[in-house]
Homo-oligomer: A and B are copies of this chain.
Amino acid sequence: MAGNTFGQAFTVTTFGESHGLAMGAVVDGCPPNLELSEADLMEDLERRRPGRTAYTTQRQESDQVRILSGVFEGKTTGTPIGLVIENTDQRSRDYDATKNVYRPAHADFTYDKKYGIRDYRGGGRASARETTMRVAAGAIAKKYLSSEFGTRIQGYLAQIGHIVLNDKSLENVRHSAFFSPDSTRESAVAEFIDELREEGDSIGAKVGILASNVPIGLGEPVFAKLDAELASALMGINAVKAVALGEGFDVVAKRGSEHRDEISSDGFLSNRAGGTLGGISSGQDIRVSIALKPTSSIAKPGKSIDRESREVEVSTSGRHDPCVGIRAVPIAEAMVALVLMDHVMRDRGQTGSSAQRAS
């Protein structure tokens, strides 16, 4: 009911504001006897961390996560895993300029209207910093899925502004400053971002996520279909405005005879569906893509109002990513991992057998 818990069998409950004391999470329902340490979580947290490269925000966050419970002698015990990251970058600041102002395209307006009160330091609860906990929890899910089924979840930048990146092979992603699969466009992207920084503007992006070795049979019709759950998980990431599975919006102009994936005795002959049929995983790769809006915090001034409805001009200075889409890559991976993990457990509860059906 309250909105800060994700999942039903493998649940993640998060808390924390960007400029509060700490970010935290409780991961409940984790299978016991999974080897787990803080290092397992740090790898993805490091990939998400601002200041990692010259092309994302230069704000330095020290995202050192602590496991407070649920792990004993290096293994999960089946009890809830408490996670916390202290917010060290909490300089006392002057918020007078912004505390009563609704920044355009930000959540300031809606939080204030909904709750009648708003933590105006940074984005408060609406800050992208909230996603640290999704990434940390997702790393636990990834580890279980990988060890149990060999599942691999790989996100990548598919497009930034008008620059479409070649995603034939995802080998380059881990070497790229932008999670780009296309090494031939690395400098083009870098130049584009520099240009945006100088202009005080920002840009949207498209991110793809591919999950392979996904067990067959995940997804609970008719309201918790796997694609519906992925859509919710991904649309709920800050700045995401669209989610597509397989061919996505391209199906609008496709005929049935073109779109359908035929099947031979060796398996599916194509993967236009994106890995689900009837909302249940088919064993094919899950292929999802999302659109992220351009960063709302930009230097270019924009019109808005304050709490008393007086018109103001707003310009955001500071260390912000010109493209939030880049750092969204590990966040999107984490959300896909959380969905798959939750559904492995839900399916196993009912049918007792998801492991055996792994493709």
What is the chain B residue whose CB lies nearest that of A311? B265
Partner of A114, one of B16, B78, B201, B241: B78
How many copies of this chain? 4
Known: A2-B9, A24-B26, A253-B204. A110 touches B352 (CB 8 A): no
Partner of A80, one of B4, B291, B309: B4
Interface hub of A116, A242, A250 (most chain B Cβ within 10 A): A242
A105 touches B21 (CB 8 A): no
Partner of A1, one of B29, B72, B104, B115: B29
**The 5 nearest A-B residue pairs measured at CB:** A107-B278, A3-B220, A2-B29, A349-B349, A228-B236
A351 touches B114 (CB 8 A): yes
A235 touches B225 (CB 8 A): yes
A79 touches B125 (CB 8 A): yes
- What distance in Å separates the Cβ of A193 from its nearest Cβ neighbour in chain B? 12
Known: A243-B231, A251-B294. A113 touches B22 (CB 8 A): no
B4 touches A26 (CB 8 A): yes
Asked if A52 CB lies within 8 Å of chain B CBs, one says: no
CB-defined interface of A261-294 with B at 8 Å, one 1/0 digit per residue? 1111100010001101111111100000001111
